[in-house]
Structure 1
Amino acid sequence: MVFNLKEIFTATMVLFAVIDIIGNVPIIIDLRAKFGHIQSEKASIIAGLIMISFLFLGKSILNLIGIDVNSFAVAGAFILFFLALEMILGISLYKEEETSAKTISVFPLAFPLIAGPGSLTTILSLRAEYETVNIVIAIVINIIFMYIVLKTSVKIEKLIGKNGINILRKIFGVILLAIAVKLFATNIQGLIN
């Protein structure tokens, strides 16, 4: 168990870019407008539990169903790629399903918006490079930040404005696109070999 501030910082920033909680502020505001109250605590705790569970059990679950980490990472890279395209081009590829106000904090907020395929793939990729304890700390830091953003999403919208949110969304979209390309390039070699 080795605490490493550089690993914690890097893992936190990578997860922050992948989760894109700031870029998701418009979606959060839209969900709040459609369904009223969002349970920020419930959404944050469930997302955190999903991510930490996947950190420890993800590889075993994938092995159980016969999928190797490289295949999962390549699939995740495609998902990240399409999410990034949505953010950059302002298009919607994700089909919204019927959701009730009671389940909004779990689906689609905690999963797949916060703890989605992109963040789960990233967690597995980080595990290959970093100490587990540093990744857990990075997840907790992101969960705390998510909770704050969920609680203050209306104030953030007023402070930054719609144009500011759109600009942030595009910036994080480009970062996410770069992460997707790197994830694909790193793991496709493992699949070919």
Structure 2
Amino acid sequence: MVADFLTFLTTIDPIGTLTIFVGLTAAASPEQRARIAWRAIGYSAAILVSFILVGQLLLVSIGVPLASFQLAGGIIFFLFGLQMVFGSGAVSADGTREEGRDVAVFPLAVPSIASPGSILAAVVLTDNREYTIAEQTLTTLLLLGVLAITLTALLQASRIYAVLGEAGSSLLVRVMGIVLAAVAVEMILEALREILPTLSGA
């Protein structure tokens, strides 16, 4: 079960999610950040638990491999990283971006927290053919524990802003945008190496 916990911790990546959250909520008040954090975790929990319940059937029926999810997520992250670098789409008072998206849904819940990796982990680690109901229940509780850790990290974002100030936060947003874009490129390349083995020298 320690391995399961570490798997969820790695695929959900609370620190990486905090990086995105900091960039998304630079213009939001502490109260708005808290609401966004709670909603993002709530949506993510609903998505991941749903995949635990019906994910095996869904993935088999649509026939989409993890690499395809990862490629799509990488492209989305890259585009969002560019938005952070160039300062487009600030968070408004209701927790949405200027273009009307709810950032708690996109890109926080999906594809950051409920990422292709965490979705696949939720499905694989609760495989009905390999695990009992008790084991699946414990795995679900471990997942919820990692989400609680992620929520705790997100709720500390206001302390980061208090230290950095407005100018520092603006700079951090752009730096994190560059980092996010770089991570996205690696996600895309990793997915392509699996989809097209020739890229990895196979």
TM-score tier by shorter-chain length is: 0.5 to 0.7
Q: 2 CA distance for matches of 1:6 and 1:65?
A: 28
- Structure 1: gaps of 5 or more residues: 98-106
- Structure 2: gaps of 5 or more residues: 90-96, 127-138, 198-202
TM superposition shift of 1:159: 4.1
Larger Rg: 2
Q: In the TM superposition, what whole-angstrom CA distance separates every residue of 1:143-164 from its partner, at most 9, and x where no partner exists?
A: 2222444xxx4x7545422211
TM superposition shift of 1:189: 2.0
TM superposition shift of 1:65: 2.8
CA contact (8 A) 2:11 2:118 kept: no
Q: How does 1:19-98 map to 2 (within 5 A)?
A: 20-29=20-29, 32=32, 39=35, 42-50=38-46, 52-53=48-49, 56=52, 60-92=57-89, 96-97=99-100
Q: 2 CA distance for matches of 1:185 and 1:60?
A: 28
2:192 paired with 1:188: yes
Q: Which residue of 2 aligns with 1:174?
A: 178
CA contact (8 A) 1:54 1:120 kept: no
Q: TM-score, normalised by structure 1?
A: 0.65
Q: Which residue of 1 aligns with 2:2?
A: 2
The percent identity for this pair of structures is: 21
2:114 paired with 1:110: no
Identify if the C-alpha distance between structure 1 residues 95 and 75 changes in structure 2 by more than 3 Å, giving closer, same or farther: farther
TM superposition shift of 1:63: 3.5
- 3-state DSSP of counterpart to 2:189: helix
Instruction: Report the count of equivalent residues.
Output: 174
RMSD between aligned residues: 4.0
TM superposition shift of 1:80: 0.7
| AA in 2 matched with 1:46 | G
Q: How does 1:131-170 map to 2 (within 5 A)?
A: 137-149=145-157, 153=158, 157-170=161-174
CA contact (8 A) 1:59 1:124 kept: no
- 3-state DSSP of counterpart to 2:23: coil
Q: Which moved more, 1:171-180 or 1:115-124?
A: 115-124
Identify if the C-alpha distance between structure 1 residues 21 and 175 changes in structure 2 by more than 3 Å, giving closer, same or farther: same
